[in-house]
Amino acid sequence: MVPIGVHIDGADPLAEATSRGADAVQFFLGDPQGWKGPVIPGDPGAVREAFTRAGVDAYVHAPYVINVATTNNRIRIPSRKLLAQQLEASASIGAKALIVHGGHVTSGVDPTEGYANWRKVMERVDRPIPLLIENTAGGTNAMARTLDAIGHLWDAVMAGAQDGDGEIGFCLDTCHAYSAGLDLADVVDKVKAITGRVDLVHCNNSRDKFASGRDRHANLTSGTIDPELILGVVRAAGAPAMCETPDDDGALAGDVRWLRDHLPAG
């Protein structure tokens, strides 16, 4: 069975992950809506050792404010700096990867400029651990919403990658894909045809209808997505599944148990 993880916002992600029976955990290193540098919860070596001893894989999600695609220098340049800091800090605690959103350009800007900016990031930012680019739910000028956009983005980042750099991978969010109007029945095959890989699945149901463009997660059996489609994505991807679902009344632990109960059938 693939590793099953949870996204945790608390101060002790390892303890909260193990209390929910998870094999992996995703968390932020600081304020996800802020521009301050990463905050490591303790001595990096001790944090890394604790995760290793517990047998739990750590993943870090980059702050939402990062947008390396934009042509606005006041956002792009700080975004590039913060992304580099997040990669370095994540590597210091032994994280498996850093996940970052594809970003967007503003209305009236040619999307090719956004892809060119992504290429520059690949050329200029060291990647001591894999950087996983995540698909997004909405935005007509988003870099990673549609399959065509993901294709252009992937061409750009591959062109900018240098031999010996850390890997570039892909994180497929089921809620985002559904909200973007992508058919979950074959989305893994279509993404892999572009990227050759899916490294992590953000395993979420949606509170909104298909192609809504809205990013509101629901627990795995309580949203508008047929739960069997979510299972199909995880099986086809063969990658760790990370639940970023609500935790009301222990629902997050329930999602972990539900996946464990149903994935072996596939």
Q: Within a 10 A sphere around the Cβ of 116, how many other Cβ atoms?
A: 15
Nearest to 144 by CA among 97, 71, 194, 82: 194
Instruction: Find the domain containing 87 and state its range.
Output: 4-265
Compute the Cα dihedral for 229, 222, 254, 30 and give only its sign: positive
Angle at 171 between CA 18 and CA 122, to 5 degrees: 120
Q: Is the pLDDT of residue 137 over 70?
A: yes
261 close to 221: Cβ distance less than 8 angstroms: no
Instruction: Quote the CA–CA distance of 2 and 235 in Å, as a whole number.
Output: 8
∠ CA 126-87-57, nearest 5°, is 130
Per-residue pLDDT at 266: 47
Q: Pick the residue with more confidence: 11 or 101?
A: 101
State both tokens at 9.
């916002």
pLDDT tens-digit profile of 220-229?
Answer: 999 999 999 9
Tens digit of each residue's pLDDT (9 = 90 or more) over 82-103: 999 999 999 999 999 999 999 9
Query: Residue 206: which H helix or E strand, with range?
Result: strand 205-206
Task: Give the CA radius of gyration of the chain.
Answer: 17
pTM of the entire predicted model: 0.97
CATH number of the domain to which 223 belongs: 3.20.20.150
Number of domains comprising the chain: 1
SS3 126: coil
Per DSSP, helices labelled H in the chain are 13-19, 44-54, 73-92, 111-124, 147-160, 174-179, 187-195, 227-237, 251-262
Q: How far apart are CA 22 and CA 68, in angstroms?
A: 32
Q: What is the mean pLDDT of residues 157-175?
A: 88
The pLDDT-based confidence of 168 (bands split at 50, 70, 90) is very high
pLDDT range class, residue 10, cuts 50, 70, 90: confident
Q: What is the DSSP string of 27-88?
A: E-SS-TT--SPP--SS-HHHHHHHHHHHT-EEEEEPPTT--TT-S-HHHHHHHHHHHHHHHH
Residue closest to 177 by CA, chosen among 158, 153, 154, 150: 150
